[in-house]
Amino acid sequence: MWRMRGPVLAVAAGMLVAAWPGVPAMAEEPVTVGEINSYSAIPAFTRPYRKGWKLAVEHINDAGGVLEGRPLKVISRDDGGKPGTAVTMANQLVMREDVDLLAGTFLSNVGLAVSDYARQRKVLFVAAEPLSDALTWSRGHRYTFRLRPSTYMQANMLADAAADLDATTWSTVAPNYEYGHSFVERFRDGLKKRRSDVRFVGEQWPPVFKLEAGPTVQALKEGDPDAVFNALFGPDLPKFVREGRSRGLFEDRPVVSALTGEPEYLRPLGEEAPEGWIVTGYPWYAIDEPAHEAFVEAYRGRWEETPRMGSLVGYNTMLAIAAALDKAGTTDTDALVAAMEGLEFDTPVGRLRFRASDHQSTMGAWVGRTTVKDGRPRMVDWYYAPGGDYLPPPEKVRALRKEAE
């Protein structure tokens, strides 16, 4: 079982701080965050994410705000899952709304587009959810930082577990865009480093959210692999699970599946959830650390529902921004970038840090197996994989990263 290291989440103790005497009154001028995400295109993840960051902003402001009393304010925009729209929204937020920094995005191609805009405009961008390795490596630059564990990190977490399987030949299925290609490449490379005998014998690349489940599953089955690696998510995942079960793809064949243990994707499967898949996810119901329990209680009290992975990511994103502002002591972009490099901050899942070498946070992921208990899909036999354990050393990062300043 996972155990949190470092101090107990400071903000958890401060959830009731507004009721304490001595909390400073906030100045009128807020610090503004321009937030962009795919709310209409990918609501299953982004709506819980929005509830998470809203809760964090409430907690931060109830505790006195940032920069010695200024309220934190978020101006949010919907990019519709389109990179061009996201860049337009980013430009409006920076040029018209005069925001102090940018945050958010979900899809990797959208995150990369906003990151490139941030580089050109020299504005801080805290990428909350995109997983593409390019964001912090080949297309990384001084103005972009990423919170979630990347495809490299999560793929290697899964490769650790997959290496113990009695499987030599593998087939893969992933959406045909940056995230999918990156996840498959990283998992393949990671597994080969751990097992010299493995071979990859087939691959399927359906368009994102446009899976034709029958032909895809049949092609995978005809390749007769010992095991399957899946990186499908969202509405494609239930179709893959149902068709794979009906065609016998999963019979006596292990499946390693990225993100499937996240409540956004596991919960909609209900009793159809697969048995025994190795996944990354978020078993919020079984994490018994005080700071996390305080977060769950506060989230439930505010929204009358249980948290998803997006909820935690949204909450942690605003905690990181507040910590950077207080460390910098100003909204000046160069000072904020300097503050973000090496920044340590407390969260419901322990103390995290943004590495100076590649601007990747050390947030980890939970690895376990899927099952159905009492009619509910769950992760079992899980453990927390610390993100810092799955990052290359700074000297290797320098070879991967091309500065684009």
Residues 330 and 265 in one domain: no
Q: Quick count: other Cβ atoms within 10 Å of Cβ 85?
A: 18
Residues 142 and 242 in one domain: no
pLDDT band at 212 (very low <50, low <70, confident <90, very high): very high
pLDDT tens profile 227-286: 999 999 999 999 999 999 999 999 999 999 999 999 999 999 999 999 999 999 999 999
pLDDT value at 352 more than 80: yes
What's the Cα-to-Cα distance from 342 to each of 332, 339, 353, 354, 357, rounded to whole Å?
Answer: 17, 7, 6, 5, 9
Q: Average pLDDT in the 307-335 region?
A: 98
The counts of H helices and E strands in the chain are: 13, 14
Contacts (Cβ under 8 Å, ≥6 apart) of 237: 260, 265, 269
Residues 144 and 185 in one domain: no
Q: Average pLDDT in the 69-73 region?
A: 97
Nearest-CA neighbor of 93 among 36, 31, 28? 36
Residues 98 and 208 in one domain: no
Contacts (Cβ under 8 Å, ≥6 apart) of 246: none
Give helix 151-162 / helix 178-194 axis angle, nearest 10°. 40
Residues 252 and 299 in one domain: no
Name the residue range of residue 344's domain: 10-150+288-364
On whether residue 84 sits in a domain, the answer given is yes
Provide the pLDDT for residue 23.
45
**Residues 111, 134: Cα–Cα separation, whole Å:** 10
69's torsion region: left (phi>0), alpha (psi -120 to 50) or beta?
left
Q: Pseudo-torsion of CA 362, 104, 256, 305, nearest 10°?
A: 100
pLDDT value at 15 more than 80: no
* C-beta of residue 105 within 8 angstroms of C-beta of residue 37: yes
* DSSP-derived 3-state class of residue 201: strand
* C-beta of residue 298 within 8 angstroms of C-beta of residue 15: yes
On whether residue 4 sits in a domain, the answer given is no
* C-beta of residue 370 within 8 angstroms of C-beta of residue 279: yes
Q: Average pLDDT in the 367-375 region?
A: 96
pTM over 0.85: yes
pLDDT band at 21 (very low <50, low <70, confident <90, very high): very low
Residues 171 and 274 in one domain: yes
pLDDT tens profile 22-60: 445 555 799 999 999 999 999 999 999 999 999 999 999
Contacts (Cβ under 8 Å, ≥6 apart) of 215: none
pLDDT value at 2 more than 70: no
Contacts (Cβ under 8 Å, ≥6 apart) of 302: 51, 55, 58
Residues 139 and 44 in one domain: yes
Residues 49 and 163 in one domain: no
Nearest-CA neighbor of 101 among 27, 36, 29, 11? 36
On whether residue 396 sits in a domain, the answer given is no
Q: Note every long-range contact of 41-45, with CB atoms under 8 Å and residues 24 or more positions apart, other chains counting.
A: 41/79, 41/80, 41/81, 41/82, 42/81, 42/106, 42/107, 42/234, 44/234, 44/264, 44/265, 44/268, 45/106, 45/129, 45/234, 45/262, 45/264, 45/308, 45/309, 45/310
Residues 201 and 228 in one domain: yes
Q: What is the average pLDDT value for the chain, to the nearest integer? A: 93
Give the residue with greater pLDDT, 245 vs 15.
245
8-state DSSP, 332:
-
Provide the pLDDT for residue 226.
98
* C-beta of residue 378 within 8 angstroms of C-beta of residue 283: yes
- β-sheet bridge partners, residue 32: 73
pLDDT band at 399 (very low <50, low <70, confident <90, very high): confident
Residues 37 and 134 in one domain: yes
pLDDT band at 402 (very low <50, low <70, confident <90, very high): low
Provide the pLDDT for residue 400.
81
Provide the pLDDT for residue 25.
54
**Residues 326, 260: Cα–Cα separation, whole Å:** 36
pLDDT value at 17 more than 60: no
**Residues 242, 252: Cα–Cα separation, whole Å:** 16
pLDDT value at 205 more than 90: yes
Count of domains observed in the chain: 2
